[in-house]
Amino acid sequence: MENLIIGIQNALTLGPLIALIAGVTIGIFMGAIPGLTAAMAIALLAPITFGMQPITAIAFLIGIYKGGTFGGSISAILLNIPGSPEASATSFDGFPLAKKGRAREALQMALFASVAGAIIADILLYVVAAPFSKFALKFGPTELTFVVLFAFTFVAGLTGKSMIRGLIACSFGILCAMVGLDPMSATPRLTFGFIELFDGLSLLSIAIGMLGLAEIIFVLEKKFREKYGLKKVEIAQFGEKRGPNLNLVIFFQYWKTILRSSFIGSCVGALPGIGASMAAFLGYGSAKKYSKQPELFGKGNLDGIAGPEAANSAVVGGSFVPLLTLGIPGNVTTALMVGTFLVHGIEPGPHVFNNQPILIYSIFSILLIANFFNLIIGLLGSGIYSHIIRLPEYIIYSIVGLTCLTGVLAASSTIFDLYIVIIFGVIGYFMKKFDYSFVAFLIGFVLAPEFELSFRSYLLLAQGDPVGLLFSRPIALFFFGLTILAIFKILWDRIIKMN
């Protein structure tokens, strides 16, 4: 208890608090610009922390991490361009709300859900860091195979009116994820001789193309049809106002979604290598699955913002579990932070709890305090951001097009990725036109690499007896059972709807 109190006192000193404010502000700004993620901001700014006190340096980076996680939702909601890959799920309902004149309400739901999810995850970090890290350590290829297989069942619940079209979209996403070097043999596949494809297709480039650029093409078609007197394409117009503030009574109506997604994000964050993108899509999928009005998803449902935002923000706290207790970075962002830890003489791992307990509790406290600065700074800016939708339509879509291209160029520094954005912009236009699910495609693309690597490793470990290995791993068997139950439930629900 004494270590906890001292840790809180250290976190509340002037240096860490100023660092947190600066970090959150920079994180929100960087996160809102497509291509400039929190991970990139940390990579660029980490060197300036080397001369700071350890707690101050860590506070600055945590502030960037927290702010960047929320910041990605700003451009996703206002311009349909995800500022970060995990914000792709937020755009599915955030952008339709902005076009209905409810931009400020959508931004505030993203902010409140993000902060609530992060607070829940950080409290869980206080309580279950060490026990859960031991549990997460038991997740090998067998367990991860069936966890991701269970996650695939969410696709069937997100396929819209046609399950066949949804499964086709998901399969296309999986096919696109296969581009690049084989994870086992490192041989090129589906690269067609392009060296630039050896690293695979970028999720950010695909998301920006299929969401942002596809929307521009769709609007251009509408204008073309109107000009030449052809059949009009129905498309929602931007609202004339930025909309009302989010009523707190309304916000608390979504507490089940936020709590559920927070647990999902915390668990995903504690499993090394999974990432916030998967958490966001799982949060979105669970929100739709348990919603009383699933048919409203994709048309402007606050549930569709609360789910992914709570989940991807909860990943931040969860990702510190393997980092601090096992010395294993939970994702790219925490991997970048390891260098700063080592520079300041902090070696993450099991011994840090015994050797530097005050430091651990200081970090836990900083994570929790950062949420309140994220709330204040985000709330002050939500009204300013929402003014964007009051601009004329031609200016908005000009900004969208320019941001699509410059954001990807800033992230990759290669012209080749601009071609990828344009190609997937056209693909996204046709998917929108013929009612193929963006969500199913992106979930397939996000989950496929992890599933392939885990599944192939599982088969190697099985040595010809995959069933025997499955029944010898209780956690994997549990998720396999959940997958079977989920498939039966989905098919049963479809049969009832048909009748």
pLDDT of residue 438: 74
Backbone CA torsion sign across 377, 113, 244, 397: positive
Q: How far apart are CA 400 and CA 469, in angstroms?
A: 50
SS (H, E, C) 195-245: HHHCCCCCHHHHHHHHHHHHHHHHHHHHHHHHHCCCCCCCCCCCCCCCCCC
If one counts every other C-beta atom within 10 angstroms of the C-beta of residue 48, the result is 10
Alpha helix (H) residue ranges in 85-162: 88-99, 103-136, 141-156
Note the pLDDT tens digit of each residue in 253-268.
Answer: 888 899 999 988 888 8
Task: Give the closest residue to 83 by CA, choosing from 119, 121, 15, 30.
Answer: 30
Structure tokens at 18: 């100023």
Q: Which residue has the higher pLDDT, 35 or 487?
A: 487
Overall residue count recorded for the chain in this entry: 499
358-389 pLDDT, tens digit each: 888 888 889 899 999 999 988 887 666 656 55
Least confident of 178-187, 192-201, 226-235, 362-371: 226-235
- Listed by start position, the domains of the chain span 2-498
- pLDDT at residue 18 tops 90: yes
Report whether pLDDT(465) > 50.
Answer: yes
In which band, very low, low, confident or very high, does the pLDDT at 113 lie, cut at 50, 70 and 90?
very high
pTM: 0.69
Q: How sure is the predictor about 233, in pLDDT bands with cuts at 50, 70 and 90?
A: very low
Closest to 110 (Cα-Cα) out of 385, 406, 437, 389: 385
Predicted local confidence at residue 335, as pLDDT = 67
d(CA 289, CA 306): 14
Report the distance separating Cα 359 and Cα 348, nearest Å: 11
